[in-house]
Amino acid sequence: IVDCTKPSDTKIDDPRMLVSLLRITNDNEFYIYQEEQGKIVTLTINNACYSNTPSGQCNKDASFYAAWVLKRLDKDITIIPYLESNAATDKDYAMLLSITGDQRYAQLLVDSQHTLGYWGNQDILTTSFAINSLRSYSTYDEDVIKAQTWLESKQIAEPVENNGSYGNLLNTASVT
C-alpha cells in the first residue's frame, strides 16, 4: 500500500497522482509492472518461486518447470521476475519464450543455436524445448527444421528394444 497523502502545508493534493511499480533487470531495462492513480493505492508485487521440496528454499529448475506447466494449463503465473532474474541457459530462454512470448528470448535462442542445429552441448532436452518454443513463430522455421533434423539423427535404432528412443525416458518424452 502506497500512501501519497501529504501534510496540508505542502499543498500537494492531486487525486490524479500516478504511482508506478517498476522493475529494473540486470541489463538495465525498465519495465512498468503496474500503475495506479490516486493518493492511496495498492500495488501487488508478483515475485515468487517454487521449491523442489515441500518446505524447501527457492529452486530455479522447479520454478521454471512449474511456470512452464502453469502456462500450458492456462493458469496465472506470478514468478516471471524470479525466472527472468535467474535465466542463464538456452533451456531457460526457451521456457521463458514459451511462458512470456517475449521475442528477446527467441533471438537469444537463435543466436546460440549450433550450426548443426542443436542447443547446449548437443543436449536433446534443451533442443526439444527450443524447438517447441520457436515453432510458434514462422520467422524461425529454418532454425526449427535444422534442429529437428539434428534430433532425428540422434534417434536410437539399435538395439531393437530401444528403437525410436533418445537414450532415456526424459529425452524421449521431450522430443515431439
pLDDT at 138 over 90: yes
Tens of pLDDT along 47-81?
688 888 888 888 999 999 999 999 999 998 888 88
* Pair type for strands 40-41 and 18-24: unpaired
Output the pTM of the full model: 0.73
The pLDDT value given to residue 94:
97
Judged by average pLDDT, the poorest of 18-22, 26-30, 80-84, 157-161 is: 26-30
Phi, psi of 23 (to 5 degrees): -135, 135
pLDDT at 55: 81
What average pLDDT does the segment 21-28 reach? 70
Phi, psi of 41 (to 5 degrees): -135, 160
For the chain, what is the mean pLDDT?
86
Mean pLDDT, residues 97-123 taken together: 95
Higher pLDDT, 34 or 109: 109
CA distance 160 to 71: 37
